[in-house]
Amino acid sequence: MTTEAFDAVDIIRTKRDKGTLSAAQIDWTIDAYTRGAIAEEQMAALNMAILLNGMDRAEISRWTAAMVASGERMDFSALRTPDGRVKATADKHSTGGVGDKITLPLAPLVAVFGVAVPQLSGRGLGHTGGTLDKLEAIPGWRAVLSTAEMMSQLQDVGAVVCAAGSKLAPADRKLYALRDVTGTVESIPLIASSIMSKKIAEGTGALVLDVKVGSGAFMKDAASARELAETMVALGTGAGVRTVALLTDMQTPLGLTAGNAIEVEESVEVLAGGGPPDVVELTVRLAEEMLEAAGVRGATGMSRADPAAALRDGRAMDVWNRMIAAQGGDPRAKLPVARESETVYAQADGVLVELDARAVGVAAWRLGAGRARKEDAVQAGAGVRLHAKPGDAVRRGQPLMTLLTDTPERFGRAKEALEGAAVIAAGGDLPSRPLILDRIG
């Protein structure tokens, strides 16, 4: 019988009583939980104590490092530029939102400039969409790659979007599942360490964080979002990853689509030099930040490193086509279309002054675009297509959005979610709300 270095109950009591865990206690806790020496109910109690009493920066840093150490770390030093130098790597992480398809145009756009983009992504749960679910709407595309396939694609194409391997931060996978069912997801120390353990283990040299703020985001207020962003930037920087965060608005959905295939369609429009202005703005700004963090000058420098130009002239589209094809997809194939649709109309004349992001996300989820449990299937064609955004003048009877699904019995609950989501005022100027609220790093 193995003698353990600590007792789980003592660890729980320390945080329950607002104490500070030592480095050795944290290392043991993560290791013991990963190998099953700490029971689920004990870790649930510790998570709740952390949620209620917090952690200081040193504790969060050590907790994150212990989760990284629970598995493997990726190494991209074998990637080379045409002249033999080690390729710079950069990644982006979004805390999740509605209509957030930014990864799709962003990864190939950054790769245009010789920076390798190893984008490890996930699936949607609840009202926020998942990047892998969107891409799986493309016929033939596959999310699961071996390390060798990933490295080959990064060398040849420059960008890959795929599922994270099971050996990266396995402690986080186990902890996240527990937090999800014990009401402890909202803890900033646990959120920050969860995100950053995976990104540090991923091995990228630079990381840009898109921390969403608003009704459709995990963080509803700017103060909480800022605290999370500052914590994650400190964790990344402390681990040797050049890290910066943008606080971005998620009060209104991004773009004009929330779903899977329809978000791919909109992303391709952006790559073709068009698309909704907000999606283009955020894609370009995040690309500039990633290039700057990777040591490549952005749009204010040399014209060859101008992301906006690379969207307009087709270079980003070329990389997209190669990236999708490398993972078995057909970038020119027809995307799935929902069998049924129903339109929601404006109930008055005026200006659309509010369109609640969370309500739209919940409606898309109920239509089949998202899942309530990780094992649920999603409909590729389901979602919500918007016909107006805040600031637009509308007339009574004008289409505001189209609901899409293969199963029409879902329309009723989707429309329930949208009750009160669209606010129309008689007129006047709508106060501007910037898309990018702040930069931290």
Active site residues: 93, 172, 179, 194, 198
Do β-strands 206-213 and 393-394 pair in parallel, antiparallel, or remain unpaired? unpaired
- Phi, psi (5° rounding) for residue 352? -70, 110
Neighbours of 35 (CB within 10 A): 11
Helix (H, G, I), strand (E, B) or coil at 155: helix
> What ranges in 70-140 are assigned the alpha helix state H?
103-111, 131-135
Neighbours of 226 (CB within 10 A): 18
Q: How are the residues of the chain apportioned to helix, strand and coil, as percentages rounded to the nearest 5?
A: 45, 15, 40
On whether the CB atoms of residues 128 and 121 are closer than 8 A, the answer is no
Go through 182-191 and write b for each residue having 16 or more CB atoms within 10 A of its CB, e for each that does not: bebeebbbbb
Helix (H, G, I), strand (E, B) or coil at 249: strand
Q: From CA 193, how far away is CA 190, in angstroms rounded?
A: 5
On whether the CB atoms of residues 241 and 206 are closer than 8 A, the answer is yes
On whether the CB atoms of residues 384 and 360 are closer than 8 A, the answer is yes
On whether the CB atoms of residues 222 and 437 are closer than 8 A, the answer is yes
Element (H, E) at 163: strand 159-163
Neighbours of 423 (CB within 10 A): 13
Go through 68-88 and write b for each residue having 16 or more CB atoms within 10 A of its CB, e for each that does not: bbbbbebebeebeeeeeeebb
Q: Which two tokens stand for residue 436?
A: 């990018």
Q: Which two tokens stand for residue 425?
A: 């005022």
* 289 closest CA partner among 93, 45, 20, 37: 93
How wide is the angle at C-alpha 221 spanned by C-alphas 389 and 58, nearest 5°? Answer: 135
